[in-house]
């Protein structure tokens, strides 16, 4: 999840630390660039990850987020369109 928090480095570091304490957040970092924080989520399934992301977006100080989900569905080209993201 990419987070915009207004550009304050202390706030970005604080948000990254808050995120790290949340369930299903495997890591979080304050970063420089268009976004202020990047957070990585892991779960047993997509619903679990989406639930965790939904909770994270409600943290105080988050202005906006962008979520990117790695699709590890079926990689067999003969069965494209099957798997958890079909």
Domain ranges across the chain = 2-70
Residue pair 73/83 in contact (Cβ under 8 Å)? The answer is yes
Question: What are the angstrom distances between the C-alpha of 65 and each of 37, 44, 74?
Answer: 9, 22, 28
What tokens were used for 21? 């304490």
Residue pair 30/9 in contact (Cβ under 8 Å)? The answer is yes
pLDDT tens profile 33-76: 999 999 999 988 888 999 999 999 999 999 999 998 876 655 66
pLDDT tens profile 12-30: 999 999 999 999 999 999 9
What tokens were used for 33? 């660039």
Whole-number pLDDT of residue 76: 63
What tokens were used for 46? 């997509």
Tell the CATH topology of 2-70: Alpha-Beta Plaits (3.30.70)
User: Which of 5-14, 64-73, 76-85 is the most confident on average?
Assistant: 5-14
The 3-class SS string of 62-84 reads CCEEECCCCCCCCCCHHHCCCCC
Whole-number pLDDT of residue 32: 94
């Amino acid at each position: 999840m990419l987070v915009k928090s207004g550009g304050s480095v202390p706030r970005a570091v604080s948000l990254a630390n808050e995120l790290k304490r949340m369930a299903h957040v495997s890591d979080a970092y304050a970063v420089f660039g268009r976004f202020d924080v990047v957070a990585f989520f892991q779960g047993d399934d997509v619903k679990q990850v989406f639930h965790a992301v939904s909770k994270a977006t409600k943290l105080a100080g988050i202005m906006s987020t962008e979520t990117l989900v790695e699709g590890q569905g079926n990689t067999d080209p003969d069965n494209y369109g099957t798997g958890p993201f079909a």
